[in-house]
Amino acid sequence: MPRASVPAADALLDRPIPVLDHGFVRLVDYLGGDDRIVQSARVSYGAGTKSVREDAALIDYLLRHAHTSPFEQVVLTFHLKMPIFVARQWMRHRTARANEISGRYSLLPNEFYLPEPEQLRPQSTTNKQGRADHAVPPEQAARILELLRAGQSERYAEYASLIEEGLARELARTHLPLSLYTEMYWQIDLHNLMHFLRLRSDAHAQEEIRAYARELARCARAVAPVAVEAFEEHVLHGRRLSRRELDLVRGALDVDRFRAALAESGLRRTRRRELLAKLGLEEAPAGDGRERAGGSGG
């Protein structure tokens, strides 16, 4: 039986998607898609794929209730090229399989990351690990870029000189800066890729890795569009509330206005009932147009 394929994903295979100045994301291979998720979820009682609408509803249910194992059945393999400092952040995600180019075996390329002028920003005064939301003045940006460019060129020339003198490559490479580009093959299942995207698409993540996350999401959407839509709905653009925050919302909630908005929302009945439960409200009895408040506030 031939392997199932997804036309939108096939169209992306082996096509490098440019990222930053010298980097790329390339989808090398994939295994499964939305159909694989629903087949895996239904295997316990022998039912296969149903209508598109029913399959989409099942994927949405699985995602919003954190039933993650069916999403692990979909696997994506990427060829990636990125600056070393991005790769070091990337390797924090240990739920994937990676094979990176080795400077012990190969001469490393003369390719370094230079930020765009608008990305040259001061240290943030509110975020200890990030940059401010405004760029430095143009004349300062020009000086910084020239300093970075000259330093990278000098370091690489010295690296090449050390190699010519016969120094072992594994030692010569230690002289190179973190802005040097590296490459790796990276294989990950869809569940863990969505976790990566949740963290690395966040506004607090470094802009350079967010640029890669956008293209990874593009590839994932081609492979499993229904699953990625559910991920964006419930995880990426959803928000969690603490117990105290939830109490505040309940206390301030106008139940009648909320009931009217919910009735006009277009949400499926199961989704409406789940939302009521989250807020500690009971569904109104048949014939009664109101919900009953439960828990604190109402």
The helix/strand/coil state of 281 is strand
Kindly report the CA angle at 119 between 115 and 120, in degrees rounded to 5? 85
Residues comprising the chain, all counted: 298
200 is catalytic: yes
Residue tagged active-site, from 26, 173, 200, 250: 200
What does the block give as tokens for 135? 């760029």
β-strand partners of 24: 18, 81
Structural contact between residues 124 and 132, judged by C-beta atoms closer than 8 angstroms: yes
Q: Which spans in the chain are helix H? A: 7-10, 34-42, 52-64, 84-90, 138-164, 169-172, 190-200, 207-223, 225-231, 243-252, 255-263, 269-278
Active site residues: 200
